[in-house]
Structure 1
Amino acid sequence: MSYVGPDFDPPQPRRSPLRRPLVVAAAALVPGALAGWLLWQATGSGGEAGGSGGVAAGASSTGKTASTGSGDDDKVPTPSASDPSSSSSSSSPSVPAASGPLSGKVVVIDPGHNPGNFQHTTEINRKVDIGTNRKECDTTGTSTNSGYTEADFTLDVARRARKILEEQGATVKFTQDGNRPWGPCVDERARIGNEAHADAVVSVHADGSGSGNRGFHVILPGAVHEGAADTRPIVAPSRDLGERVAGRFVRNTGSAPSNYIGDGTGLVTRKDLGGLNLSTVPKVFIECGNMRDSEDAALLTSGAWRQKAAQGISEGIVSFVRK
């Protein structure tokens, strides 16, 4: 099945060592290219994104926060708690560039989970209203087999994306920036985007599926009108945002759409995620890869690859807010 969306270059088959990188562009629009990608092994995430890797605190397979898998290579600095420029609130506004194509635009990035969730079992296990039912406040997320956590991954990619977007003039806010001991809960994550009147919100995750499951997928909100949830106004714009993010993610990372969810499209619609159900602004989740697959894990733990992921996510956002 082919994936069709704005700014999408159909993915290319895995390059051989003898092929020059620029050859990819020559075949970028070949309709049959996706079939080649489907021969790849692919992936998906955990936690609020609902992948198999999300677990409540206390039920984690590692029970600890590991260091980044790539050491210090191309690492984005972490805000210091003693730095007066670091906000202690869950929503972390950044100062936008003086000018740029995104001047006046507000983007909220939601780094999935929190490195401190492991130590706060009671807090993240309590149930919150997500419109359709009640669900755990948050989860720990997943990790690679070597212990690199999803929470560390999402913060790193989010910080890289923030830098890219701010350089183009956007005001970027985080739901959490490693500056709170746990959470926020999924309902608060949605509320932060709503109260910011964000032009776009992207929640960054990585999956915890079985070995051999590879690739990325973007989760879109389904039409929900129940309790406190009414996603009907954002379903169409969120799909547009998701398609643009998926297309640019492929272009920048070379990753294939998931081989285990989404029927090869890289897009999945869900109605059980509080972060989407309670949003009143365009919002999607992206599961960047499967941390439990060794091949995907090698990418997710690479600082160079995380920079490509951040670039792809950012370009998708730029394409959406400037349309």
Structure 2
Amino acid sequence: MSYAGSNPDPFDPSGPSGPPPPRRSPLRRPLTVALAALVPGALLGWLAYEASGGTGSGGANGSGAASSVLSSPANGEDGAGSRGGAGGDGKTGAGTGTASASSSAPAAGSGADSLRGKVVVIDPGHNPTNYRHTADINREVDIGTNRKECDTTGTSTNSGYSEAQFTLDVAHRLRTLLQRQGATVRLTQDGDRPFGPCVDERARIGNAAHADAVVSIHADGAGAGQRGFHVILPGAVHEGAADTRAIVAPSKDLGKLIAGDFTRTTGTSPSDYVGDGTGLVTREDLGGLNLSTVPKVFIECGNMRDTKDAALLTSGAWRQKAAQGISEGIVSFLHG
């Protein structure tokens, strides 16, 4: 393209200083006619050769350019296509076609449906609006061994980040991870009710779901300077409405696996103030455990009242690691 006032292009045939147009060769027309006569004959000969079982690139060996393109990794392993992008659902992305579906098929056997048929109940501790309903949450309920408050407001960091906010965020992240592997996941509350549920109802939700595993997510409110996480296991309780004898052993297995994976994934250490460094604590005074008839544990992910632990608990990246660690422990337990 030329602009007014610009220098003429010496290689532009339309320009004032361009070279003269080439002269046509007197042999051009006879050669064109000859080629037009030869091409159909050559094409017919090639078709006859293929029909007789030729071994060219599209012959008996079944390869050929089209097959090579379909089997190329570039057509089905680009992440955003065959592997479902950030969602990771293993479904074929738009425009990737059959080749993408074929190349992504192994993903289904490597974990996408590994928890299909399993039910996991996640119990986010407390409720973000419990503080508005003190009379309701202070009402006592039967926990088997005695009576206890329906629920509490939970603790918070010195900056005001509440335990209830923390537990719900981790629960959402954990739910996503487990659902990607095919599990049916239910939450005892999702910020969708004014308070609670009460501790006895939390247990009943897991029982009614016939859950294969239940995890109650919490963060502790211990003294400043005390750090680390711990997993709470149910003790052997057989009193009143409580009978945990059948779930003590599987709950301990679940707790050990979660503790190990939580340490590895988050890089944090077991509690230095309870559990003697094991990260495991057994209790018989928690209604959510006493009334459970399915394997269940609590995890206190850290101490919100310690500034170093609080820095972790308020980090979205660290909460994702926490959810990953809990998820991996659950998956290992469910796989047996």
Please say whether Structure 1 and Structure 2 have the same fold, judged by a TM-score greater than 0.5: yes
Other structure's SS at 1:115 match: coil
Matched residue type, 1:216: F
Q: Which of residues 175, 178, 184 is equivalent to 2:197?
A: 184
Question: How many residues are treated as equivalent by the alignment?
Answer: 226
Per-residue deviation, 1:99: 6.0
- TM-score normalised to structure 2 length: 0.67
Matched residue type, 1:158: A
Two-structure CA RMSD over aligned residues (Å): 0.9
2:253 matched to 1:240? yes
The equivalent residue for 1:128 is 141
Q: Which of residues 93, 118, 142 is equivalent to 2:131?
A: 118
Q: Which of residues 280, 303, 314 is equivalent to 2:316?
A: 303
The equivalent residue for 2:181 is 168
- TM-score normalised to structure 1 length: 0.69
2:187 matched to 1:207? no
Q: Give the % identical residues.
A: 80
2:243 matched to 1:230? yes
2:288 matched to 1:275? yes
Distance, in Å, in 1 between the alignment partners of 2:289 and 2:251 is 10
The CA deviation string for residues 260-315 of structure 1, in whole angstroms up to 9 with x for no partner, is 00000000000000000000000000000000000000000000000000000000
Other structure's SS at 1:237 match: helix
The equivalent residue for 1:104 is 117
Sort the Cα spacing of 1:99 and 1:260 in 2 relative to 1 into closer, same or farther, 3 A.
closer
The equivalent residue for 1:293 is 306
Per-residue deviation, 1:160: 0.1
Distance, in Å, in 1 between the alignment partners of 2:134 and 2:315 is 30
Distance, in Å, in 2 between the alignment partners of 1:251 and 1:126 is 40
**Structure 1 residue ranges without an equivalent (≥5):** 1-97
Other structure's SS at 1:263 match: helix
Sort the Cα spacing of 1:297 and 1:103 in 2 relative to 1 into closer, same or farther, 3 A.
same
> How do 1:10-49 residues align onto structure 2 when only pairs under 5 Å count?
none
Other structure's SS at 2:252 match: helix
The equivalent residue for 2:233 is 220
Per-residue deviation, 1:163: 0.1
Matched residue type, 1:247: G
Pair member with larger Rg = 2
Per-residue deviation, 1:103: 0.2
- Greater relative contact order structure (CA < 8 Å, 6+ sep): 1
Distance, in Å, in 1 between the alignment partners of 2:192 and 2:136 is 16
Distance, in Å, in 1 between the alignment partners of 2:266 and 2:328 is 12
Distance, in Å, in 2 between the alignment partners of 1:222 and 1:126 is 25
The CA deviation string for residues 214-266 of structure 1, in whole angstroms up to 9 with x for no partner, is 00000000000000000000000000000000000001000100000000000
**Structure 2 residue ranges without an equivalent (≥5):** 1-110
4+ residue stretches of structure 1 with deviation over 2 A?
none
Matched residue type, 2:176: K
> How do 1:255-274 residues align onto structure 2 when only pairs under 5 Å count?
255-274=268-287
Distance, in Å, in 2 between the alignment partners of 1:165 and 1:232 is 28
Distance, in Å, in 1 between the alignment partners of 2:175 and 2:245 is 28
Other structure's SS at 1:233 match: coil
